[in-house]
Amino acid sequence: MSITQERKKEIFQKSSLQGSATDTGSVESQVSLFTTRINEITQHLATNKKDNSSRLGLLKLVGKRRRLLDYLHRKDITRYRALIAKLELRK
């Protein structure tokens, strides 16, 4: 269930403002990584319904992502809207 280093670099490169694979600290990079992990855990829980420890980890990740998105919404609304559109988080 873990993400490989190559996959992480690819995620960071796609989501980074500068297109750098080493930009791991930006809000966009962190939210993109959390979104990827959330999607993987959600698929895991679809087949393993009784895995409560993974469910708890999923809830924690969703909370972290929510806090980062709230921070970005307060600081820079245009970056927030661009990130939401890029990751297709809202319907």
Position 21 scores a pLDDT of 66
Q: What is the pTM for the complete model shown?
A: 0.86
Let me know: does 61 contact 38? Beta carbons within 8 Å: yes
Q: Looking at residue 25, what DSSP letter applies?
A: S
pLDDT of residue 16: 66
Give the per-residue pLDDT at 69: 96
CB burial of residue 12 (10 Å; 0-12, 13-18, 19+): buried
Is 5-87 assigned to CATH 1.10.1760.20? no
Going residue by residue through the chain (91 aa), what tens digit of pLDDT does each one get?
Answer: 578 888 888 888 877 666 666 778 889 989 999 999 999 999 999 999 999 999 999 999 999 999 999 999 999 999 999 999 999 998 5
